[in-house]
Amino acid sequence: MSEYVTARIIRLDEVDFGLFDWDRHNTVYFFVLNADEQIYLRYGGRDARSFDSYLGLESLELALEKGLELHEKYKAGELPKKPRGAPDFAKDYPLLVERTIGNGACVECHLVNDYKAQHKELDGTLDKVRDMYRSPDIRTIGIHLDAPKGLLVASAEGMAQAAGMQPGDTITALEGVPVYTFGDLQYNYDKVDRAARSATFTVDRAGESVDLAVELPLRWWLTNLDFRHWTIEPRVYFESDPLTAEEKRSLDLPEDGFASRVRLVEGVAGLLGLHELKVGDIVYGVAGVQTDPDANSAELYLKLRTKSGSETTLQVLRDGERIEMPLKSARMGFRK
Amino acid sequence: MRLFPVSLLLLSALTAFPAGLAAQELHWFDSYDAALEEARRTGKPIFLEYRCSP
């Protein structure tokens, strides 16, 4: 560590997010860079299970060693310079200025994420598949890392295994972009177009570089959002399971529809007067819509296509009878 | 109320004593510009941490 200049920044008022871009729902995040503001690598990243699924002393030490190696290469002129993003500061977001900076409160990481998303919602540019479902989980495509060893693959299943990924491989690039840490991998995986149907992972296998075209399944980007406390996420307080194609046929519902059977209704739904769904209800439509290219359940459709805090009407099958039911979602106001 | 109070404490330990290194005194700049200046002066790379609170 003594071979580094160390800095810890706890207020983001003056940070240029055009340079330091990361998923700010992380607890902590690290960059290794040089005096020319060239970022060598990132250290950080999390999943829905825990803030530290991919953090630890062993992987940190590997990252620090790699940072020194890249620094030597940079000084030797062996690393190309990366372009810097357009300037992007907290002060550029009026809601953040009004509610946080203007009150003298700390501009914290998660607030930046949340207010940026709210501004996208206001100006109509919010794409929830991309902006709300941040940092897709590599486990969804079957990549399980030996986290203390950085990007060493512990096991591969599903799509990753089908593409040829093997235990013992070390991931070295994604879509041609070199990655040195899990933070690098997750950051670049988040950049993959949500409509993409494959992504190329390059691995080192016993000294040989191998490209693996991993097929991306439908909804590969879908993650648990609970830890994010998004304002933009409609809270509906029920969970449901997609009907099978056979069930939909038997109920005369479109096979490509998002009809789903309610599995859980949280008490808060009743307390807040949001809806009157019951376990076993089948929600087969929202405001008359029954199909969606991204949603395979009613609550996913509501999260993706309705605004938090808004009201709509559900089409519901209850005890074989088709009924209409009003629903209002809740809008989070977590620590604003 | 803090968002991740326990994790911050754990990560504090993580960055204080990287494996293989003695628990030596490190100076942590709280100014990015000052860290840049120090990197220019020493030729060292920067290890930069962003976090909610100390």
A187-238 pLDDT, tens digit each: 999 999 999 999 999 999 999 999 999 999 999 999 999 999 999 999 999 9
Question: Has residue A305 got a pLDDT over 90?
Answer: yes
Length of chain B, in residues: 54
Distance, in Å, from the CA atom of B42 to the CA atom of A302, rounded to the nearest integer, reads 54
Residue B42 has pLDDT above 70, yes or no: yes
pTM: 0.92
Residue B1 has pLDDT above 50, yes or no: no
Q: What is the pLDDT of residue A329?
A: 98
* pLDDT band at B3; cut points 50, 70, 90: very low
What beta strand segments (E) does chain A contain? 5-9, 28-33, 39-43, 143-145, 153-156, 170-174, 177-178, 198-205, 208-215, 238-242, 260-265, 282-286, 311-318, 321-328
The answer to whether B32 contacts chain A (CB < 8 Å) is yes
pLDDT tier at B10, thresholds 50, 70, 90: very low
Distance of CA B31 to the CA centre of its chain: 11
Q: Give the closest-approach CA distance of B36 to chain A in angstroms.
A: 5
Query: A147 in contact with B at a CB cutoff of 8 Å?
Result: no
Confidence of residue B27 (pLDDT cuts 50, 70, 90): very high
Tell me the sheet residues that pair with A260: A242, A283
Nearest CA in chain B to A15: B32
Q: Is B5 on the interface with A (CB under 8 A)?
A: no
Evaluate if residue A185 carries a pLDDT over 50. Answer: yes
pLDDT at site A274: 98
Among A5, A28, A34, whose Cβ lies nearest the Cβ of B50? A28
DSSP code for A257: B
User: Mean per-residue pLDDT for B19-38?
Assistant: 81
pLDDT band for A85, please (50, 70, 90 cuts): very high
Task: Give the chain A residue nearest B54 (alpha carbons).
Answer: A10
By Cβ distance, the residue of B4, B18, B45 closest to A71 is: B45
pLDDT band per the 50, 70, 90 thresholds, residue A245? very high
pLDDT at A308 over 60: yes
Tell me how close the Cα of B52 comes to any Cα of chain A, in angstroms.
Answer: 5
pLDDT class of A253 with cuts at 50, 70, 90: very high
A15–chain B Cβ distance below 8 A for any pair:
yes
What is the reported pLDDT for A288?
98
Q: Which residues on adjacent β-strands are paired with residue A43? A: A30
A29-38, A104-113, A142-151, A291-300, range with the lowest pLDDT? A104-113
What integer pLDDT is reported at residue B14 of this predicted model? Answer: 54
Whether the CB of B22 is below 8 Å from some CB of chain A: the reply is no
For position A302, what pLDDT does the model report? 98
